Structure 1
């Protein structure tokens, strides 16, 4: 007879020791999926919002460039001349083309400068001025030239940042908006 089996039979049965709280928490797999989803959902949502914000801003930039080109074509062909073009007319022409994305506040956030120059080099030397994170518009005006003159139309729009956490990353103006810019330089036709 084996004495080892006898000694086990005579020993009182002992209960296993309770694992510590930390060991039970680490070993429990019941909520792991929920925790993993939460950990991954936050960066995923941030990434989706960043992509959407960038796409909408890009669409606004393209719309601004198209509106600038359309208005420049009207000035180049003589449809809009110095006689029938002023600040309000130009603002309405631009905002009419931007209204699909800008809504009612286009006139509040759009800035433009239409000037004629003696040469393309003089037009190219014009610089955009910024002061304390704001666009300086004091020299902006609407002064198109006549037939065969060189003109430049610069259009700026203060684009809103839609998601709050993207404001610091995307905005380049002190008011939390992003400055979109489009320009067109041309020589008028002999109208």
Structure 2
């Protein structure tokens, strides 16, 4: 009779066997492991993609800055016609391959003439509250767009607030923008002013 209907003692003895079978059963382990590892894996993939896109944008901006500086150095862009809006338009037209909209709003341009390269080397900047402050030694200076004449020494600095696309990375960085920066220092060629 006890084999047919069971008794209370057999029922309690069945529980350890059930848990032992459950722990040995590996059919759902792959699904559980995938669920546990998929979130960190996705975060890692998004971080890699975000970094790659940001690095590519930085390199494109550096190349554009070099190209604009070359035009200024050779006299293709004349000092009399260079304005802040014109420089921003020139850079944004070339940066259009990566930036979709609001380029001029996120772009900051500083073009200066220096008497010596040592003066240009003393120029710096600080990042404060995700904003750029230009310095000359310890003195803060405003952004300028003053191109030099033939054979003058110049420096072009371009800053762009690049949007972080992944929300989780933006939250971990404390904002939704990261600053890209490019700088070129040169002496103009002896062109006709």
Shift in Å, 1:12: 5.6
Tell me whether 93-102 or 160-169 shows the greater mean CA deviation: 160-169
1:158 aligns to 2:161 (yes or no): yes
1:19 aligns to 2:22 (yes or no): no
Q: Which of these residues, 72, 75, 79, is aligned with residue 75 of structure 1?
A: 72
Aligned to 1:184: 184
Shift in Å, 1:23: 4.6
1:96 aligns to 2:99 (yes or no): no
CA distance in 2, matches of 1:116, 1:168: 39
1:146 aligns to 2:149 (yes or no): yes
Q: Which of these residues, 103, 106, 109, is aligned with residue 109 of structure 1?
A: 106
Aligned to 2:128: 131
CA distance in 1, matches of 2:162, 2:104: 12
Question: Which protein has the bigger strand share?
Answer: 2
Shift in Å, 1:135: 1.5
Alignment root-mean-square deviation, CA? 2.1
CA distance in 2, matches of 1:39, 1:95: 43
CA distance in 1, matches of 2:99, 2:109: 16
- The structure with the larger Rg is 1
**Any unmatched runs of 5+ in structure 1?**
1-10
**Any unmatched runs of 5+ in structure 2?**
135-140
Equivalent residue of 2:151, what SS? coil
Equivalent residue of 1:178, what SS? strand
Aligned residues: 178
CA distance in 2, matches of 1:124, 1:12: 95
Deviations 1:120-172 (CA, angstroms, capped at 9, x unpaired)? 01001001133333213661111010000000000000001110111245x4x
